[in-house]
Amino acid sequence: MLIVANWKAYVETREEAKKLLALAKRLSKIRRIKIVLAPSFPHLGLLAPNNISKVAFAAQDISDTKIGIATGEVTGGALRSVGAQYVIVGHSERRARGETDALIAEKTKRALVNGLTPILCVGEKERDGDAHYLSELKHQLAAVFSALSPRERLGVVVAYEPVWAIGKHAADAMSSHDLAEMVLYIRKVLADYLPGKSAKSALILYGGSTEPANARGLAGGSGIDGFLVGHASVDHEMFPALVKSLV
Ligand code: PGA
Residue nearest to atom 6 of ligand 1 (CA): 230
Q: What is the pLDDT of residue 222?
A: 92
Ligand 1 atom at shortest distance from the alpha carbon of 92: 8
Q: What is the pLDDT of residue 2?
A: 98
- C-beta 222 within 6 A of ligand 1: no
Amino acid letter for position 200: K
Q: 219-239: b or e for each residue (b if 16 or more CB lie within 10 Å)?
A: beebbbbbbbbbbbbbbeebb
Residue nearest to atom 2 of ligand 1 (CA): 230
Q: What is the pLDDT of residue 131?
A: 85
Beta strands in 7-163 (DSSP E): 34-38, 56-59, 86-89, 117-122, 157-160
Q: What is the pLDDT of residue 50?
A: 85
Ligand 1 atom at shortest distance from the alpha carbon of 165: 5
- C-beta 210 within 6 A of ligand 1: yes
> What is the 3-state secondary structure of 107-121?
HHHHHHHCCCEEEEE
> Residue 195 C-alpha to ligand 1 middle, in angstroms?
31
Which residue ranges of the chain lie beneath pLDDT 70?
none
Q: What is the pLDDT of residue 172?
A: 87
> Residue 196 C-alpha to ligand 1 middle, in angstroms?
30
Q: What is the pLDDT of residue 206?
A: 98
- Global pTM value: 0.97
- C-beta 218 within 6 A of ligand 1: no
> Residue 233 C-alpha to ligand 1 middle, in angstroms?
9
124 is catalytic: no
Q: What is the pLDDT of residue 130?
A: 82
Q: What is the pLDDT of residue 169?
A: 92
Q: What is the pLDDT of residue 196?
A: 79
CATH number of 2-245: 3.20.20.70
218 neighbors 173 (Cβ within 8 angstroms): yes
Residue nearest to atom 7 of ligand 1 (CA): 230
- C-beta 161 within 6 A of ligand 1: yes
